[in-house]
Amino acid sequence: MAASHPSSQRPEPIFGTVVIAGVGLIGGSVALGLRERFLAREVIGFDLEPENLNHALGLGVIDSAKLTVGEWLRGADLVVFAVPVRALPGLIAQFAPFIGADTLLTDVGSVKGGLLEATTALGADLRSRFVGGHPMAGSERGGVTNASAGLLQNAIWVLTPSADSSPKAVERVRLLVESLGAKPVIFDALAHDRLVATVSHLPYLSALALTRLIARHEDRDGLALLAAGGFRDLTRVASGDARMSRDMVVENRVALREALSRYRAELEALEAMLFAPEMLLDAALEGKRTRDSLPVVKRSLLPVLHDVVVAIPDKPGEFARVAGLLADAQINIKDVEVLSMREDGGSLRLGFALLEEAVQARVTLEAAGYVARGRG
């Protein structure tokens, strides 16, 4: 009796062609999420650096690559701008003449005030299809080689639609974010900039100031020797991409200067409390309560290099069938995650200890009629 192949039916993608303009850490992570969860029929990477595109192709982050803008853009259902914030207005202007009549536009930049100004130069139709976005996720290790779909898992993803953004465009971008496993929230663009100035951009300047204290101290070697895990944790963001971080804080300098003013006032108040121990204790207890109440974002912990993602139909027994096939082939699954499940199917991410096991698993599943993808 011939074996049936019910899993050859991959879930219907919610987008056709998606263009990722800027294939770095976040752009690459979005691309991986789109491919792993079968959310797009095709993912095209655009970047000015051929090396970035070569890495992205080699790692299976994108399906194809482009170095220049052109008529090929008209076929895109969605464009995600993922370049540094200072480069964003210029890139939007380059793309605008080639954007298709129904193409949806969004970005992942960390500052939105300048984006509002940049989009005012677009026609009303394009403005209606642009919805700003900012996933609150990142890593001190930049570049597409460190991209991971798991980076976006459970992350807060701020959407900043303008007054011109159509409700349909907002809902489509919201669907994108939710389908990538993140949590969309909507903020006014300028309110977003004021808030991230305090929780993101100010901590970067604080880390920079602390590391400069060591670098410029007369006993630098002694300080470096004594700098323990707490200091390293507190200054971790200083290890990120220096140019991108510079652009981020400079672009948000108005809101950031306000945050710095409040921060200086808090430091001065704490300095005065050195002579009022009970007040300092109250401040410390308040700080502990605030810190302990912050939400913990749980990321996917599956190993990036040894993943296989398999499309499955939404029907009883499919997970058992996948596990049974791999068990029969003597392949041990170390971890598993349901990435998405829609009415017409979804996908599983399977984690393997060895690259060889991941390759063998993919071959086994494809031989059984499954559509599988891996980054090995």
Per-residue model confidence as pLDDT tens digits over 45-60: 999 999 999 999 998 9
CA–CA dist 352, 337 (Å, integer) = 12
Kindly state whether residue 96 falls inside one of the protein's structural domains.
yes
Domain boundary among 293, 317, 348: 293
Q: Are residues 37 and 159 in the same domain?
A: yes
CA–CA dist 101, 93 (Å, integer) = 16
Q: Are residues 97 and 159 in the same domain?
A: yes
Indicate which CATH number applies to the domain containing 365: 3.30.70.260
What's the burial of 58, exposed, middle or buried (CB within 10 Å: 0-12/13-18/19+)?
exposed
Q: Are residues 142 and 273 in the same domain?
A: no
DSSP states of 258-304: HHHHHHHHHHHHHHHHTT-HHHHHHHHHHHHHHHHHSPPPPPP-S-G
Q: Are residues 198 and 329 in the same domain?
A: no
pLDDT surpassing 80 at residue 154: yes
Neighbours of 313 (CB within 10 A): 15
Q: Are residues 156 and 199 in the same domain?
A: no
Q: Are residues 210 and 331 in the same domain?
A: no
Q: Is 199 helix (H, G, I), strand (E, B) or coil?
A: helix
pLDDT at 136: 92
Q: In this predicted model, what pLDDT tens digit does every residue of 169-226 receive, in sequence order?
A: 999 999 999 999 999 999 999 999 999 999 999 999 999 999 999 999 999 888 888 8
Q: Are residues 181 and 200 in the same domain?
A: no
- How many CA atoms lie within 13 Å of 74's alpha carbon, on the beta-carbon side? 5
Indicate which CATH number applies to the domain containing 21: 3.40.50.720
pLDDT at 314: 78
Distant-in-sequence, close-in-space partners of 84: CB < 8 Å, separation ≥ 6: 22, 109, 243, 244, 247, 248
pLDDT at 208: 95
CA–CA dist 373, 376 (Å, integer) = 9
Kindly state whether residue 272 falls inside one of the protein's structural domains.
yes
Q: How confident is the model at residue 9 (pLDDT cuts 50, 70, 90)?
A: low
Indicate which CATH number applies to the domain containing 244: 1.10.3660.10
Q: How confident is the model at residue 2 (pLDDT cuts 50, 70, 90)?
A: very low
The H or E element that residue 193 is part of is helix 189-196
What would the mean pLDDT of 4-17 be, rounded to a whole number?
A: 72
Which one is predicted more confidently, 357 or 46?
Answer: 46
Kindly state whether residue 299 falls inside one of the protein's structural domains.
no
pLDDT surpassing 50 at residue 6: no
Which one is predicted more confidently, 149 or 344?
Answer: 149
Kindly state whether residue 298 falls inside one of the protein's structural domains.
no
The H or E element that residue 125 is part of is helix 124-128
Report the percentage of the chain scoring pLDDT > 70. 93
Kindly state whether residue 229 falls inside one of the protein's structural domains.
yes
pLDDT surpassing 80 at residue 345: no
Kindly state whether residue 59 falls inside one of the protein's structural domains.
yes
- Could you tell me if 8 and 371 are in contact, meaning their C-beta atoms sit under 8 angstroms apart? yes
Strands 335-342 and 64-66: unpaired
Q: Are residues 142 and 223 in the same domain?
A: no
pLDDT at 3: 44
Q: In this predicted model, what pLDDT tens digit does every residue of 217-259 receive, in sequence order?
A: 999 888 888 887 788 888 988 888 888 899 999 999 999 999 9
Structural domain range at position 368 = 304-374
Q: Are residues 201 and 308 in the same domain?
A: no
pLDDT at 110: 93
Q: Are residues 184 and 162 in the same domain?
A: yes
pLDDT surpassing 80 at residue 304: no
Torsion of CA 300, 302, 307, 310, to 10 degrees: -50
Mean pLDDT of the chain: 89
> Rounded to two decimals, what is the model's pTM?
0.80
Q: Are residues 258 and 315 in the same domain?
A: no
Q: Tokens 């019910």 label which residue?
A: 6
Kindly state whether residue 118 falls inside one of the protein's structural domains.
yes
Q: How confident is the model at residue 1 (pLDDT cuts 50, 70, 90)?
A: very low
pLDDT at 104: 97
Kindly state whether residue 1 falls inside one of the protein's structural domains.
no
Q: In this predicted model, what pLDDT tens digit does every residue of 266-302 receive, in sequence order?
A: 999 999 999 999 999 999 999 999 999 987 765 543 3
Number of structural domains the chain divides into: 3
What would the mean pLDDT of 123-130 be, rounded to a whole number?
A: 92
Domain boundary among 128, 156, 188: 188
Tokens of residue 111, six digits: 């500052």
Per-residue exposure over 216-254, b if at least 16 CB sit within 10 Å of its own CB, e if not: eeeeeeeeeeeeeeebeeebebbebbeebbebbbebbee
pLDDT at 302: 39
Domain boundary among 258, 293, 328: 293
Q: Are residues 241 and 178 in the same domain?
A: no
